Chains A and B, each alone.
Chain A
Amino acid sequence: MKKNGRFYFLDCLYLLIMILPILGGIVLRVLTHPAESGVSIRGAQVFCTIPMPVQDLIISESQINSWLVILAVFGLCLYLTHGLSARFPTKRQVVAEWIVEKTEELVYENMGPFFKGFSPFICAILALSGFSSLLTLFGLYPPTSDLNVVAGWAILVFILITYYKMKCGPWQYIKSFGDPVPLLSPLNVISEVATPVSMAFRHYGNVLSGTVISTLVAAGLSGLSAILLGNLPGILGEIPFLQIGIPAVLSVYFDIFSGCLQAYIFAMLTMLYISSGFPADLYEQRKLRKATIKSVSK
């Protein structure tokens, strides 16, 4: 493909769509957060509440930040996929193809051929969760450390699991609760409910614990450096020199590694729960039976 002025203009536009939301988030944070010192661990800041019939809708930092992440990922997708050509692939096209191929491979390996169409959904979960956790690198509030956001995703996954369990009719679904013996059905119901709860708590707890531990370590280091160098004269005693660099080591684990790992685990568990809850053999039998009934009645 020939690169002309329009191509480069679109390039810049998509890059701006990618970068501007992050910059906007940083500006919003700087404008709305008062300067603070010492240890402060707090939840998402509430910007405004919109009155609603059942319960007031709270617009908080986590919602704003997740929309910013969605915009940024949208810009990234546009940037990677514009100007595709079959004969002369550009570098970004190779990257986009690699992402798509890897996700399809992952979904095929873990879910089987019936769920081939799931790869866009899984990729969306991976991107949204991963980039949300990586938002801490810009000093923004990560939406995944808010239980409400992650609980929303977990409920979505729970609906999907139930939908695929009900593929063979509601009666089959109810029967699956009394699986080994009907006596155990309360336990089965509990384990069914525990799925979304544990998914939400796992993701939220991991990201939030990283934030809490990082804050505590940073505060502790500033106190330690005040003890060590506090009696030096002038400005020398006020520099928390232990805070330079040491919290960054923790950040590599808690922000980058743990954030990406949790995104991967959330996507992986989604795939496993959906594909293991789906009664594939029964579904095939049912399809065959329906087909034979149809052909006989004809």
Chain B
Amino acid sequence: MLELAIGIILGCCALGAGTAMIAGVGPGIGEGNAVAKACEAIGRQPECKSQVTTTMLMGCAIAETTGLYALVIAILLIFVAPNMLVDVLLKSIG
């Protein structure tokens, strides 16, 4: 029975980490849009290339934040949560 409980904990942590990374879709679409628009802008005004590139990189970095939150959650779920939850389980059993 204990093995089953620990197995459920580990499996659910892995499932949760995988599910959390679905958030990676959003920043991907957003950054793709940003880069597409930046390419258009450079095509229209090639003399502004350096400024557009700088602004685009800044915008991409900020758009990436939500994806990185998901990444942090996933890393916590993989590396930190299983040990903690198993400890809680063992302590509650006594």
Q: Which residues of chain A from 205 to 227 have any CB-CB distance to chain B below 8 Å in the complex?
A: 205-206, 208-209, 212
A201: CB under 8 A from chain B? Answer: yes
Contact of A202 with B75 in the complex, beta carbons under 8 Å: no
In whole angstroms, how far apart are the Cα atoms of A54 and B80 in the complex? 24
B65 to chain A, nearest CB (A): 5
Q: How far is the CA of A208 from the CA of B72 in the complex (A)?
A: 9
With known contacts A198-B65, A202-B65, A209–B71 Cβ distance under 8 A: yes
Q: A268 in the interface, Cβ–Cβ < 8 Å? A: yes
Dominant secondary structure at the B interface? helix
Residues of A bordering B, CB below 8 Å:
41, 43, 198, 201-202, 204-206, 208-209, 212, 261-262, 264-265, 268
**A261-B75 contact, Cβ under 8 Å, with A201-B68, A202-B68, A205-B68:** no
Minimum CB distance partner of B69 in chain A: A201
Q: Is B8 an interface residue (CB 8 A)?
A: no
Task: Give Cα A34 to B61, complex, Å.
Answer: 36
Name the A residues within 8 Å of B72 (CB-CB). Answer: 201, 204-205
Please, how many residues of chain B have a CB less than 8 angstroms from a CB on the other chain? 11
B57 at the interface (CB under 8 A from A): yes
- Nearest-Cβ distance from residue B58 to partner chain A, whole angstroms: 6
Assess whether B31 is interfacial by the CB under 8 Å rule. Answer: no
Given A261-B57, A265-B57, A268-B58, check contact A208 B75 (CB 8 Å). Answer: yes
Nearest CB on A from B26, distance (A)? 15
CB distance from B50 to the nearest CB of A (A): 12
Could you say which residues of chain A place their CB within 8 Å of the CB of B61? 202, 261-262, 265
B57, B61, B64, B79 pick with most chain A CB within 10 angstroms? B61
Which 10 pairs across A and B sit closest by C-beta, in order of nearness?
A205-B68, A265-B61, A205-B71, A198-B65, A202-B65, A209-B71, A201-B68, A202-B68, A205-B72, A201-B72
CB 8 Å contact bits of B64-82 with A (1 = contact, 0 = none): 1100110110010001000
Determine the distance from Cα of A261 to Cα of B59 in the docked complex, in whole angstroms.
12
Give, as a whole number of angstroms, the nearest-CB distance from A9 to chain B: 42
A211 to chain B, nearest CB (A): 11
Can you identify 27 A-B contacts, CB atoms within 8 angstroms? A41-B79, A43-B79, A198-B65, A201-B65, A201-B68, A201-B69, A201-B72, A202-B61, A202-B64, A202-B68, A204-B72, A205-B68, A205-B69, A205-B71, A205-B72, A206-B64, A208-B71, A208-B75, A209-B68, A209-B71, A261-B57, A261-B61, A264-B57, A265-B57, A265-B58, A265-B61, A268-B58
Q: How far is the CA of A198 from the CA of B75 in the complex (A)?
A: 16
Q: With a CB–CB cut-off of 8 A, which chain B residues contact A202?
A: 61, 64-65, 68
Q: 8 Å CB contacts to A: which residues of B7-61?
A: 57-58, 61
In the complex, what distance in Å separates the CA atom of A268 from the CA atom of B57?
11
CB of A257 to closest CB in B, whole Å:
10
Nearest CB of chain A from residue B70's CB, rounded to whole Å? 9
**B72–chain A nearest beta-carbon distance, Å:** 6
Residues of B within 8 A of A212 (CB): 75
Additional 14 contacts, C-beta under 8 A, given A201-B69, A261-B61, A262-B61: A43-B79, A198-B65, A201-B65, A201-B68, A202-B61, A205-B68, A205-B71, A205-B72, A208-B71, A208-B75, A212-B75, A264-B57, A265-B61, A268-B58
Task: Give the shortest distance, in Å, between B84 (CB) and chain A (any CB).
Answer: 15
